[in-house]
């Protein structure tokens, strides 16, 4: 092929130019044959794409915030104040970053519970599920570490309370507290650590795991839920390009609309600068996505059968998280194509636990 005169090849000249140098046939073949199952639950397939879009928004706005943010106890609060008040469109970037973080976690919960209820974790998608649960954990880590960065009063005390809970983790609790805080107390050392987690460690690990998650999804294709597999209805599929991709794009536009409206009309509060010597204000609460765990810890009595309540509650949450992570290996019936009502009920109970306790926590905060 003559790659020297691209203009002669009209609109596709760029593609031809690239193809003359790189073999794109595998990608072409993949795109031509990739399809997505169509059935009454297909709507849930859009949430993974929305999460991906929001992750990209986080990376882009995070890099912009980094241009002015300063990670020290002396300068962090003032640098955020400067971003919001002085930097052109800084207020918008900060609001979008904060709102997109919350939307991403909300979308991830929907993505996870829908994948669970459609039993999308069953063989051969065990690793897609495991990588997904770890990605949710990492996203919660982003939320927890990012919350402290403005070094305002609310964030300071929420981090103090949050890291105190870590102290009750069996065996390694105190070591974990020292590791997170960089000492016995929440200080500038904690801020520097959280900054490191937030902008280096977590993005690196998340990007690697996300690549694995997406690679698995692409190589295995989307699953059909067992109820659709078993039904008499004819099985229908939709080409990924352009039909499904355009619908995905529509999902991105919808979430972008929601995001920009929230960012423009509901500015993210900055409050007052943290004062480590001030007493802990009453009613300190974590971000909404930690409320269910926080409420659960409060609900468990101080002592159960002479064992410390908080210890029991943390052990229970840890064990439940482990079972949730390993669900594809425990639900063997689903993988053999058999109904598994026990796991359906486990999913329903998990949703009631998370949403119910989040609501209780929210009602406590807003009586
Ligand atoms: C940053 C976080 C995540 C991103 C960007 C992401 C992205 C995606 C995308 C784009 C898909 C294909 C479309 C779809 O099914 O919605 C997908 C599929 C899937 N995801 Fe995620 N995901 C994330 C986290 C999670 C979590 C937390 C779980 C569950 C614990 C999970 C489990 C799955 C499963 C099982 C599939 C396959 C669905 C099927 O084949 O039917 N993902 N993910």
For residue range 317-327, list pLDDT tens digits in order. Answer: 999 999 999 99
What is residue 103's predicted lDDT score, i.e. its pLDDT? 98
pLDDT at 3 over 50: no
Span from the CA of 291 to the centroid of ligand 1 (angstroms): 23
Span from the CA of 48 to the centroid of ligand 1 (angstroms): 5
Task: Identify the CA nearest to 45 among candidates 229, 250, 321.
Answer: 250
pLDDT in tens, 76-131: 999 999 999 999 999 999 999 999 999 999 999 999 999 999 999 999 999 999 99
With the most atoms of ligand 1 within 8 angstroms of its CB, the residue from 35, 51, 354 to mutate is 51
Span from the CA of 140 to the centroid of ligand 1 (angstroms): 16
Task: Identify the CA nearest to 54 among candidates 259, 287, 323, 347.
Answer: 259
pLDDT in tens, 35-45: 999 999 999 99
Token look-up 């690990």 returns 205
List, in sequence order, every beta strand (DSSP E) within 240-346. Answer: 303-304, 307-308
Locate 224 and state its tokens.
């059909």
What is residue 367's predicted lDDT score, i.e. its pLDDT? 78
Return the residue whose CA atom lies nearest to atom 25 of ligand 1: 132
Our answer on whether the CB atom of 51 is closer than 6 Å to any ligand 1 atom is yes
Span from the CA of 162 to the centroid of ligand 1 (angstroms): 28
Q: Rounded CA gap, 135 and 145, in Å?
A: 15
Our answer on whether the CB atom of 120 is closer than 6 Å to any ligand 1 atom is yes
pLDDT at 315 over 70: yes
What is residue 217's predicted lDDT score, i.e. its pLDDT? 97
Span from the CA of 128 to the centroid of ligand 1 (angstroms): 7
Our answer on whether the CB atom of 121 is closer than 6 Å to any ligand 1 atom is yes
User: What mean pLDDT is predicted for residues 155-166?
Assistant: 95
pLDDT in tens, 203-232: 999 999 999 999 999 999 999 999 999 999
Confidence grade of residue 4 (pLDDT, cut at 50, 70, 90)? very low
What is residue 119's predicted lDDT score, i.e. its pLDDT? 97
Q: Rounded CA gap, 48 and 46, in Å?
A: 6
Domains of the chain, first to last = 43-227+235-277 (1.20.810.10)
pLDDT in tens, 257-308: 999 999 999 999 999 999 999 998 888 889 999 999 999 999 999 999 999 9
Q: Rounded CA gap, 263 and 238, in Å?
A: 35
**CB half-sphere exposure, 184, CA atoms < 13 A:** 0
pLDDT in tens, 14-33: 988 999 999 999 999 999 99
307-308/303-304 β-pairing: antiparallel
Mean pLDDT (the chain, rounded)? 94
Q: Which atom of ligand 1 lies nearest, measured to the CA of 125?
A: 35
């Amino acid at each position: 092929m003559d790659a020297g005169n691209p203009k002669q090849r009209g609109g596709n000249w760029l593609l031809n130019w690239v193809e003359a140098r790189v073999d794109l046939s595998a990608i072409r073949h993949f795109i031509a044959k990739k399809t997505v199952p169509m059935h009454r639950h297909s709507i849930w397939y859009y949430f993974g794409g929305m999460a991906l879009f929001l992750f990209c928004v986080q990376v882009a706005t995070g890099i912009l915030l980094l241009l002015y943010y300063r990670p020290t106890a002396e300068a962090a609060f003032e640098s955020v104040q400067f971003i919001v008040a002085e930097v052109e469109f800084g207020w918008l970037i900060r609001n979008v970053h904060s709102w997109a973080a919350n939307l991403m976690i909300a979308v991830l919960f929907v993505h996870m519970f829908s994948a669970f209820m459609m039993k999308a974790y069953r063989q051969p998608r065990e690793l897609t599920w495991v990588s997904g649960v770890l990605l949710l954990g990492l996203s919660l880590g982003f939320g927890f570490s990012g919350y402290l960065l403005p070094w305002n009063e609310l964030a300071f005390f929420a981090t103090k309370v949050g890291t105190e809970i870590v102290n009750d983790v069996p065996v390694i609790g105190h070591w974990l507290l020292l590791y997170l805080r960089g000492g016995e107390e929440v200080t500038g050392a904690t801020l520097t650590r959280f900054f490191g987690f937030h902008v280096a460690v977590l993005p690196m690990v998340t990007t690697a795991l996300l690549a694995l998650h997406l690679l698995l999804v692409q190589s295995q294709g989307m699953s059909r839920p067992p109820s659709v597999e078993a039904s008499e209805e004819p099985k229908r599929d939709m080409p990924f390009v352009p039909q499904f991709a355009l619908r995905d794009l529509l999902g991105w536009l919808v979430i972008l609309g929601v995001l920009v409206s929230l960012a423009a009309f509901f500015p993210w509060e900055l409050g007052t600068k943290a004062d480590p010597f001030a007493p802990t204000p009453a009613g300190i609460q974590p971000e909404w996505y930690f409320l269910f765990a926080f409420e659960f810890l409060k609900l468990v009595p101080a002592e159960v059968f002479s064992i410390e309540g908080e210890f029991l509650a943390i052990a229970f949450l840890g064990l439940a998280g482990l079972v949730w992570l390993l669900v594809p290996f425990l639900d063997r019936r689903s993988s053999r194509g058999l109904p598994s009502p026990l796991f359906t009920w486990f999913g329903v109970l998990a949703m009631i636990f998370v949403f119910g306790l989040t609501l209780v926590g929210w009602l406590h905060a807003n009586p």
